[in-house]
Structure 1
Amino acid sequence: MAARTQFYLNKQDAKYKGVCAGIADYTGVNPLWVRLGVAGMTIIAQQWWLIVAYFIIAWIADPKPFGLYQTQDDAKFWQGVRSNPRRSSAEVRSKLRDIDRRLADMETHFTSRNSALAKEIDSLR
Protein backbone atom coordinates (compact mmCIF):
# COMPACT_ATOMS: atom_id res chain seq x y z
CA MET A 1 0.00 0.00 0.00
CA ALA A 2 1.32 3.42 -0.93
CA ALA A 3 1.82 6.04 1.76
CA ARG A 4 -0.66 8.86 1.32
CA THR A 5 1.52 11.38 3.12
CA GLN A 6 4.58 10.83 0.91
CA PHE A 7 5.65 13.15 -1.92
CA TYR A 8 5.04 11.70 -5.38
CA LEU A 9 5.61 12.95 -8.91
CA ASN A 10 2.23 13.65 -10.45
CA LYS A 11 2.46 12.33 -14.00
CA GLN A 12 -1.25 12.88 -14.72
CA ASP A 13 -0.97 16.70 -14.44
CA ALA A 14 2.66 16.88 -15.55
CA LYS A 15 4.03 19.33 -18.09
CA TYR A 16 7.56 17.96 -18.13
CA LYS A 17 8.50 15.51 -15.37
CA GLY A 18 5.68 16.08 -12.86
CA VAL A 19 7.71 17.75 -10.12
CA CYS A 20 5.68 20.99 -9.96
CA ALA A 21 2.43 19.03 -10.26
CA GLY A 22 3.64 16.76 -7.44
CA ILE A 23 4.43 19.75 -5.25
CA ALA A 24 1.00 21.18 -6.03
CA ASP A 25 -0.67 17.84 -5.22
CA TYR A 26 1.31 17.54 -1.99
CA THR A 27 0.47 21.04 -0.77
CA GLY A 28 -2.99 21.50 -2.27
CA VAL A 29 -2.00 24.54 -4.34
CA ASN A 30 -2.97 25.01 -7.98
CA PRO A 31 -0.16 23.60 -10.21
CA LEU A 32 -0.15 26.81 -12.28
CA TRP A 33 0.95 28.85 -9.26
CA VAL A 34 3.72 26.37 -8.41
CA ARG A 35 5.00 26.48 -11.99
CA LEU A 36 4.88 30.28 -12.08
CA GLY A 37 6.67 30.44 -8.73
CA VAL A 38 9.47 28.14 -9.88
CA ALA A 39 9.84 29.98 -13.20
CA GLY A 40 9.79 33.35 -11.46
CA MET A 41 12.37 32.30 -8.88
CA THR A 42 14.60 30.86 -11.59
CA ILE A 43 14.44 33.74 -14.05
CA ILE A 44 13.67 36.86 -12.01
CA ALA A 45 15.39 35.99 -8.74
CA GLN A 46 18.15 34.10 -10.58
CA GLN A 47 17.91 31.04 -8.38
CA TRP A 48 19.55 28.73 -10.92
CA TRP A 49 19.99 25.96 -8.39
CA LEU A 50 16.24 25.27 -8.78
CA ILE A 51 16.90 23.70 -12.18
CA VAL A 52 19.36 21.26 -10.63
CA ALA A 53 16.98 20.59 -7.73
CA TYR A 54 14.13 19.99 -10.18
CA PHE A 55 16.07 17.27 -12.02
CA ILE A 56 17.31 15.67 -8.79
CA ILE A 57 13.74 15.48 -7.46
CA ALA A 58 12.54 14.08 -10.81
CA TRP A 59 15.24 11.41 -10.60
CA ILE A 60 14.74 10.46 -6.93
CA ALA A 61 10.97 10.72 -6.33
CA ASP A 62 8.54 7.94 -7.15
CA PRO A 63 5.58 8.51 -9.48
CA LYS A 64 2.17 8.77 -7.81
CA PRO A 65 0.43 5.37 -7.79
CA PHE A 66 -2.75 5.18 -9.83
CA GLY A 67 -5.84 5.35 -7.63
CA LEU A 68 -4.04 6.65 -4.54
CA TYR A 69 -7.08 8.72 -3.58
CA GLN A 70 -10.60 7.37 -4.03
CA THR A 71 -12.33 10.75 -4.23
CA GLN A 72 -11.44 14.44 -4.37
CA ASP A 73 -12.51 14.74 -0.71
CA ASP A 74 -10.05 11.98 0.15
CA ALA A 75 -7.25 13.91 -1.57
CA LYS A 76 -8.19 17.12 0.28
CA PHE A 77 -8.21 15.26 3.59
CA TRP A 78 -4.72 13.85 3.08
CA GLN A 79 -3.41 17.25 1.96
CA GLY A 80 -4.72 18.62 5.25
CA VAL A 81 -3.02 15.81 7.15
CA ARG A 82 0.29 16.69 5.49
CA SER A 83 -0.07 20.39 6.21
CA ASN A 84 -1.28 20.15 9.81
CA PRO A 85 -1.76 16.67 11.32
CA ARG A 86 -3.08 17.94 14.66
CA ARG A 87 -5.80 20.00 13.03
CA SER A 88 -6.84 17.04 10.89
CA SER A 89 -7.05 14.68 13.86
CA ALA A 90 -9.05 17.30 15.78
CA GLU A 91 -11.47 17.58 12.85
CA VAL A 92 -11.94 13.81 12.73
CA ARG A 93 -12.44 13.71 16.51
CA SER A 94 -15.01 16.50 16.26
CA LYS A 95 -16.93 14.72 13.49
CA LEU A 96 -16.93 11.47 15.47
CA ARG A 97 -18.16 13.30 18.60
CA ASP A 98 -20.97 14.85 16.56
CA ILE A 99 -21.96 11.45 15.14
CA ASP A 100 -21.85 9.92 18.63
CA ARG A 101 -24.04 12.73 20.00
CA ARG A 102 -26.58 12.29 17.20
CA LEU A 103 -26.69 8.51 17.75
CA ALA A 104 -27.23 9.06 21.47
CA ASP A 105 -30.10 11.47 20.69
CA MET A 106 -31.68 8.92 18.36
CA GLU A 107 -31.32 6.18 20.95
CA THR A 108 -32.92 8.39 23.60
CA HIS A 109 -35.77 9.23 21.25
CA PHE A 110 -36.51 5.61 20.34
CA THR A 111 -36.15 4.17 23.86
CA SER A 112 -38.16 6.87 25.62
CA ARG A 113 -41.80 6.45 26.57
CA ASN A 114 -43.07 8.34 23.58
CA SER A 115 -46.67 7.24 23.10
CA ALA A 116 -47.07 9.02 19.74
CA LEU A 117 -44.02 7.21 18.39
CA ALA A 118 -45.29 3.88 19.76
CA LYS A 119 -48.63 4.41 17.99
CA GLU A 120 -46.86 5.20 14.69
CA ILE A 121 -44.71 2.08 14.96
CA ASP A 122 -47.75 -0.07 15.77
CA SER A 123 -49.66 1.39 12.83
CA LEU A 124 -46.83 0.35 10.50
CA ARG A 125 -47.07 -3.29 11.57
Structure 2
Amino acid sequence: MNAPRHTKFYLDKQNKKWSGVCAGIADYTGIDVTVVRIGLVVLTLVGGFPWTLIAYWAAAWMAPVKPRELYSQDDEQKKFWQGVRANPRRTARDVRSRFRDIDRRLADVETYVTSSNHRLSQEIESLR
Protein backbone atom coordinates (compact mmCIF):
# COMPACT_ATOMS: atom_id res chain seq x y z
CA MET A 1 0.00 0.00 0.00
CA ASN A 2 1.31 3.45 -0.89
CA ALA A 3 1.92 6.07 1.76
CA PRO A 4 -0.42 9.07 1.58
CA ARG A 5 0.99 12.12 -0.21
CA HIS A 6 1.35 15.20 1.94
CA THR A 7 1.16 17.58 -1.00
CA LYS A 8 -2.26 16.50 -2.25
CA PHE A 9 -5.64 18.15 -1.58
CA TYR A 10 -7.91 16.01 0.60
CA LEU A 11 -11.38 16.44 2.06
CA ASP A 12 -11.04 16.89 5.82
CA LYS A 13 -13.89 14.80 7.22
CA GLN A 14 -12.87 15.23 10.88
CA ASN A 15 -13.26 19.02 10.79
CA LYS A 16 -16.14 19.19 8.33
CA LYS A 17 -19.41 21.06 8.54
CA TRP A 18 -20.96 19.56 5.39
CA SER A 19 -18.60 17.60 3.21
CA GLY A 20 -15.15 18.78 4.31
CA VAL A 21 -14.25 20.94 1.31
CA CYS A 22 -13.63 24.16 3.26
CA ALA A 23 -11.79 22.26 5.99
CA GLY A 24 -9.68 20.60 3.28
CA ILE A 25 -8.88 23.95 1.68
CA ALA A 26 -7.93 25.35 5.08
CA ASP A 27 -5.70 22.36 5.82
CA TYR A 28 -4.10 22.57 2.38
CA THR A 29 -3.37 26.32 2.50
CA GLY A 30 -2.88 26.92 6.23
CA ILE A 31 -5.64 29.52 6.33
CA ASP A 32 -8.08 29.35 9.25
CA VAL A 33 -11.12 27.25 8.34
CA THR A 34 -13.52 29.98 9.52
CA VAL A 35 -11.97 32.46 7.10
CA VAL A 36 -12.33 29.96 4.25
CA ARG A 37 -15.99 29.33 5.10
CA ILE A 38 -16.80 33.03 5.39
CA GLY A 39 -14.96 33.68 2.12
CA LEU A 40 -17.01 31.02 0.35
CA VAL A 41 -20.28 32.47 1.64
CA VAL A 42 -19.28 36.03 0.72
CA LEU A 43 -18.11 34.96 -2.74
CA THR A 44 -21.41 33.15 -3.28
CA LEU A 45 -23.49 36.13 -2.14
CA VAL A 46 -21.47 38.73 -4.05
CA GLY A 47 -22.10 37.22 -7.43
CA GLY A 48 -20.69 33.78 -7.85
CA PHE A 49 -23.94 32.10 -6.86
CA PRO A 50 -24.30 29.09 -9.06
CA TRP A 51 -20.58 28.66 -9.83
CA THR A 52 -19.27 28.54 -6.27
CA LEU A 53 -21.82 25.91 -5.33
CA ILE A 54 -21.05 23.89 -8.47
CA ALA A 55 -17.32 24.09 -7.71
CA TYR A 56 -17.96 23.15 -4.06
CA TRP A 57 -19.99 20.05 -4.96
CA ALA A 58 -17.53 19.06 -7.71
CA ALA A 59 -14.68 19.22 -5.20
CA ALA A 60 -16.72 17.24 -2.68
CA TRP A 61 -17.45 14.60 -5.31
CA MET A 62 -13.98 14.35 -6.88
CA ALA A 63 -11.49 14.92 -4.04
CA PRO A 64 -10.33 11.95 -1.96
CA VAL A 65 -10.87 11.77 1.79
CA LYS A 66 -7.85 12.62 3.94
CA PRO A 67 -6.11 9.41 5.11
CA ARG A 68 -6.03 8.68 8.84
CA GLU A 69 -2.21 8.76 8.96
CA LEU A 70 -2.22 12.45 8.08
CA TYR A 71 -4.40 13.36 11.07
CA SER A 72 -1.67 12.30 13.49
CA GLN A 73 0.77 15.01 12.35
CA ASP A 74 1.92 17.60 14.86
CA ASP A 75 1.65 21.33 14.14
CA GLU A 76 5.27 21.63 12.98
CA GLN A 77 4.78 18.91 10.37
CA LYS A 78 1.55 20.53 9.15
CA LYS A 79 3.26 23.91 8.74
CA PHE A 80 6.16 22.28 6.90
CA TRP A 81 3.91 20.53 4.37
CA GLN A 82 1.76 23.63 3.89
CA GLY A 83 4.98 25.49 3.05
CA VAL A 84 5.97 22.77 0.60
CA ARG A 85 2.62 23.08 -1.14
CA ALA A 86 2.81 26.87 -1.22
CA ASN A 87 6.40 27.22 -2.46
CA PRO A 88 8.45 24.03 -2.94
CA ARG A 89 11.63 25.86 -4.00
CA ARG A 90 11.66 28.04 -0.90
CA THR A 91 11.05 25.01 1.29
CA ALA A 92 13.92 23.11 -0.33
CA ARG A 93 16.15 26.15 0.14
CA ASP A 94 15.15 26.37 3.81
CA VAL A 95 15.87 22.67 4.37
CA ARG A 96 19.28 23.00 2.67
CA SER A 97 20.01 26.02 4.87
CA ARG A 98 19.10 24.07 8.01
CA PHE A 99 21.32 21.18 6.96
CA ARG A 100 24.21 23.58 6.27
CA ASP A 101 23.77 25.07 9.74
CA ILE A 102 23.67 21.61 11.35
CA ASP A 103 26.72 20.56 9.34
CA ARG A 104 28.61 23.68 10.44
CA ARG A 105 27.74 23.10 14.08
CA LEU A 106 28.77 19.44 13.82
CA ALA A 107 32.08 20.47 12.27
CA ASP A 108 32.64 22.89 15.17
CA VAL A 109 32.00 20.08 17.68
CA GLU A 110 34.33 17.76 15.76
CA THR A 111 37.05 20.42 15.70
CA TYR A 112 36.68 20.98 19.43
CA VAL A 113 36.79 17.26 20.25
CA THR A 114 39.79 16.53 18.02
CA SER A 115 41.77 19.60 19.05
CA SER A 116 44.67 19.35 21.44
CA ASN A 117 42.64 20.50 24.41
CA HIS A 118 44.61 19.32 27.44
CA ARG A 119 41.71 19.60 29.91
CA LEU A 120 39.36 17.66 27.65
CA SER A 121 42.00 14.96 27.15
CA GLN A 122 42.36 14.60 30.92
CA GLU A 123 38.60 14.29 31.38
CA ILE A 124 38.38 11.61 28.72
CA GLU A 125 41.29 9.70 30.23
CA SER A 126 39.71 9.87 33.69
CA LEU A 127 36.56 8.21 32.32
CA ARG A 128 38.47 5.16 31.06
Same fold? TM cut 0.5: yes
Query: TM-score by structure 2 length?
Result: 0.93
Which residue identity lines up with residue 124 of structure 1 in the other structure?
L
**Deviation sequence 1:73-114 (CA, Å, 0-9, x none):** 111100000000111001100110011001111111111110
Q: Does structure 1 residue 7 correspond to structure 2 residue 9?
A: yes
For structure 2, list consecutive stretches of 5 or more residues without a partner in the other structure: none
* Partner of residue 55, structure 1: 57
**Deviation sequence 1:7-65 (CA, Å, 0-9, x none):** 0001111000000000000000000000000001111x121110111001100000000
Count of residues paired in the alignment:
124
Q: Identity percentage over the alignment?
A: 53
Pairs within 5 Å for 1:3-82: 3-43=5-45, 45-48=46-49, 49-68=51-70, 70-82=73-85
Match of 1:98 among 94, 97, 101: 101
* 1-10 vs 69-78, greater mean Cα deviation: 69-78
For structure 1, list consecutive stretches of 5 or more residues without a partner in the other structure: none
Query: TM-score by structure 1 length?
Result: 0.95
Q: CA separation in 2, counterparts of 1:71 and 1:79?
A: 13
Structure having the higher helix fraction is: 2
